Amino acid sequence: TKQNSSFNSSGTVASYTLTLAVNVEVYNRDNVLLIKEELHASSHHSVLSSTQADKLQIDEAYSNLRNTLIKKLLRRMYRLDED
């Protein structure tokens, strides 16, 4: 998990980018490695005026990133199933 921020001239955060990376290993029932890779998802956000709103926005953004990674993993699993 990584968060990058950009600041405006007054020193306050103007925007931020959230990046989520997950190492994934998938084995079949014979313990043969089928997939080993790192899945990444990132999103860029403008900061809201209130600190609490910022936190809610960050929490929602991480939830969306987790969902994106799950979808990527499911697509890879589906492709394995086709083979």
Which pLDDT score, from 0 to 100, does residue 32 have?
A: 92
Which pLDDT score, from 0 to 100, does residue 49 have?
A: 54
Residue-range domains of the chain with CATH: 2-82 (3.30.160.150)
CB under 8 A, 24+ apart: contacts of 16-20? 16/44, 16/45, 16/47, 16/58, 17/42, 17/43, 17/44, 17/45, 18/42, 18/43, 18/45, 18/58, 18/61, 18/62, 18/65, 19/65, 20/62, 20/65, 20/66, 20/69
- pTM over cut 0.75: no
pLDDT tens readout for residues 49-69: 556 556 667 777 788 888 888
pLDDT tens readout for residues 5-53: 666 667 666 677 778 888 889 898 899 998 898 888 887 777 655 565 5
Which pLDDT score, from 0 to 100, does residue 44 have?
A: 75
Question: What is the band of 4 on the pLDDT scale with cuts at 50, 70, 90?
Answer: low
